[in-house]
C-alpha cells in the first residue's frame, strides 16, 4: 500500500497522462502543454487549472504526454502550427534548447515583481519562472546508513548497481544532472566521470516517475530526484527514513518556467494565465504538490520542509554555453554510455 500510494501520490505516474476538467465538453479558451506528473491527480495541475478557470470564467484543456523533455520535443515539432497556447514546465537546462527553435512569444508579466531577480534568467521574457529547487540524490537511510557525500563518492565500487537516474535525453532531472557533472568536472573531465559512474547505475529510466518508483520499491537505495523529496515522506508518510545529502562540490539549481507559444490561438488568455501563475492561487499549491520552492512565495513553507537541507553553494552553467554546446554534450554522453 505504501509503495503504490507513494508512486501515485508523489509527482504522479503515467497512469494519468491526459487530465482535463469536466468543463472541457466546451471549446477550450486555453490549451496548456505540461509534463505528466504536474497534471497527475495528486500534482498541482488539477488544483491550479481549476482555480484559473474560476478566476477567468473560462475553460482550460491540459495535455500532458510525458516528461518535460518529451513535451518540449513535441512543441518544437509543432512550432509551425502550435496546438497549445502555453508550455509549462521547461527548466533552465532545457530553456536554452527551446530558445534555439524560436517557439516563444515574449511577455513580461507585471507580477514578476514578486520573483527574485536571480530566478529571472531570460531578459527577453520568453519564459517566466514559477518554481525552483535543487536536484539531489535521495537515499534510504535504513539500507544505506553511510550515504555518498559528493559526486565523486557516487563512483565508489561499494555502490555498484545501487543507483538509478533518469536520461538526460528525455528527463528534466536527467539533463540537469548531466549539466551538474559538466559544471563540476568541466568539458574535459565529465565523460571520464560518467565512465567511472556507469558501473554503479542499475539502470537509466526515461523519466522521474519510473526511477522514483524503483527507489520506493526497494530496488535501489539511491535515486536522482530533488532536495525537497524527503519533505514529501514526512508530510504524507510521517517518516524521515528518506534523506538527501548536500554534496561537497555544490548543488545544481533547477528553475522551472512557463511561456506563451508563438502563434498561440488564445494569446490574451495565455497572458492572463502567466499573470495568474505568479499569484497565491498558483504559488501556494507548489510546495505540497510539486515539491519545489515557489518562485513568487506568498505564504510560509509547510512545516515538512524543515527537513529540506538548504544549499549554501550551488553550481550552474552559462545559458549561452548550454545553448551552443548542449547537443554536442548529449551526443558525447550517449556514445560514452553505449560503450
pLDDT at position 152 is: 97
Arithmetic mean of pLDDT, 56-77: 92
pLDDT at 7 over 80: no
Burial class (CB within 10 angstroms; exposed 0-12, middle 13-18, buried 19+) of 69 = buried
Instruction: Check residue 209 and give its pLDDT.
Output: 86
More confident residue, 150 or 324: 150
Q: What is the pLDDT of residue 265?
A: 97
User: Please, where in the chain does CATH 3.40.190.10 lie?
Assistant: 2-132+255-307, 134-252+309-338
11: pLDDT strictly greater than 60: no
Residue 234: pLDDT above 90? yes
Residue 12 confidence (pLDDT) above 60 = no
What pLDDT does 201 receive?
98
The reported pTM is: 0.83
Q: What is the mean pLDDT of residues 273-296?
A: 97
CB-based contact 66:36 (threshold 8 Å): yes
| pLDDT of 320 over the 70 cut | yes
CATH class of 134-252+309-338: alpha beta
Interval 236-259 mean pLDDT: 95
Mean pLDDT value across the chain = 91
* Fold (topology level) of 2-132+255-307: D-Maltodextrin-Binding Protein; domain 2 (3.40.190)
The per-residue pLDDT for 303 is: 97
Between 94 and 187, the higher pLDDT residue: 187
229: its cell numbers: 523529496
Under the banding of pLDDT at 50, 70 and 90, the label for residue 87 is very high
Hey, what's the cell of 15? 497512469
Phi, psi of 132 (to 5 degrees): -160, 165
Contact at 8 Å (CB) between 62 and 47?
no
Residues 169-200 pLDDT 10s: 988 899 999 999 999 999 999 999 999 999 99
Confidence label for 70 from pLDDT (cuts 50, 70 and 90): confident
Residue of higher predicted confidence among 12 and 251? 251
What region, left, alpha or beta, does residue 186 occupy, with left being phi > 0 and alpha being psi -120 to 50 degrees?
Answer: left
The pLDDT of residue 318: 84
**Count of all residues that appear for the chain in the document:** 339
The CA-to-CA distance between both ends of the chain, in Å, stands at 39
Distance CA 88, CA 260 (A): 9
Amino acid at each position: 500500500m505504501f509503495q503504490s500510494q507513494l508512486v501515485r501520490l508523489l509527482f504522479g505516474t503515467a497512469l494519468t497522462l491526459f487530465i482535463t476538467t469536466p468543463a472541457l465538453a466546451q471549446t477550450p479558451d486555453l490549451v496548456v502543454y505540461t509534463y505528466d506528473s504536474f497534471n497527475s491527480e495528486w500534482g498541482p495541475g488539477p488544483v491550479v487549472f481549476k482555480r484559473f478557470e474560476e478566476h477567468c470564467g473560462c475553460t482550460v484543456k491540459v495535455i500532458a504526454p510525458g516528461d518535460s523533455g518529451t513535451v518540449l520535443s513535441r512543441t518544437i515539432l509543432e512550432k509551425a502550427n502550435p496546438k497549445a497556447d502555453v508550455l509549462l514546465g521547461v527548466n533552465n537546462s532545457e530553456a536554452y534548447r527551446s530558445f534555439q527553435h524560436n517557439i516563444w512569444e515574449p511577455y513580461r508579466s507585471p507580477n514578476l515583481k514578486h520573483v527574485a531577480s536571480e530566478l529571472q534568467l531570460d531578459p527577453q521574457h520568453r519564459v517566466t519562472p514559477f518554481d525552483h529547487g535543487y536536484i539531489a540524490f535521495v537515499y534510504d537511510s535504513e539500507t544505506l546508513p553511510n550515504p555518498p557525500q559528493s559526486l565523486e563518492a557516487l563512483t565508489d565500487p561499494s555502490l555498484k548497481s545501487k543507483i538509478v537516474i533518469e536520461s538526460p535525453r528525455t528527463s528534466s532531472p536527467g539533463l540537469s544532472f548531466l549539466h551538474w557533472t559538466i559544471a563540476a568536472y568541466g568539458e574535459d573531465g565529465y565523460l571520464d566521470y560518467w565512465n567511472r559512474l556507469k558501473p554503479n547505475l542499475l539502470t537509466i529510466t526515461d523519466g522521474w516517475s519510473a526511477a522514483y518508483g524503483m527507489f520506493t520499491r526497494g530496488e535501489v537505495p539511491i535515486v536522482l530526484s530533488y532536495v525537497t523529496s524527503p519533505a514529501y515522506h514526512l508530510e504524507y508518510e510521517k517518516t524521515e527514513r528518506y534523506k538527501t545529502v548536500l554534496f561537497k562540490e555544490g548543488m545544481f539549481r533547477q528553475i522551472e518556467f512557463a511561456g506563451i507559444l508563438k502563434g498561440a490561438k488564445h494569446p490574451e488568455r495565455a497572458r492572463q494565465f502567466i499573470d495568474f501563475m505568479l499569484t497565491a492561487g498558483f504559488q501556494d499549491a507548489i510546495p505540497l504538490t510539486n515539491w519545489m520552492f515557489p518562485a513568487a512565495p506568498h505564504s510560509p513553507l509547510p512545516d515538512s520542509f524543515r527537513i529540506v537541507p538548504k544549499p549554501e553553494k550551488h553550481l550552474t552553467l552559462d545559458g549561452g554555453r548550454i545553448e551552443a554546446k548542449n547537443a554536442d554534450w548529449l551526443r558525447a554522453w550517449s556514445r560514452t554510455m553505449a560503450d
